[in-house]
Amino acid sequence: ILICINVFLKIPKLIDLCEMNEAISQKDRIISQLNTAMASMFSQSELDNAIFEARKGLFTSENVELMINKILEWDINNDGAIGLEEAIQALMISTGIKPIE
Domain that holds residue 24: 15-53
25-82 residue pLDDT tens: 898 889 888 888 877 888 888 888 888 888 877 777 787 788 777 766 777 777 877 7
7 inside domain:
no
Residue 14 confidence (pLDDT): 56
83 inside domain:
yes
**Is 12 a residue whose pLDDT tops 50?**
no
How many structural domains are present in the chain? 2
Give yes or no: residues 36 and 63 share one domain: no
15-33 residue pLDDT tens: 667 777 888 889 888 988 8
10 inside domain:
no
Give yes or no: residues 45 and 73 share one domain: no
Using DSSP's 3-state secondary structure scheme, residue 6 falls into strand
pTM above 0.75, yes or no: no
Give yes or no: residues 46 and 69 share one domain: no
**Is 92 a residue whose pLDDT tops 70?**
yes
Residue 4 confidence (pLDDT): 47
4 inside domain:
no
9 inside domain:
no
- C-alpha distance from residue 32 to each of 24, 37, 39, 42 (Å): 12, 9, 11, 17
Give yes or no: residues 66 and 89 share one domain: yes
C-alpha dihedral (13, 18, 24, 27), degrees to nearest 10: -100
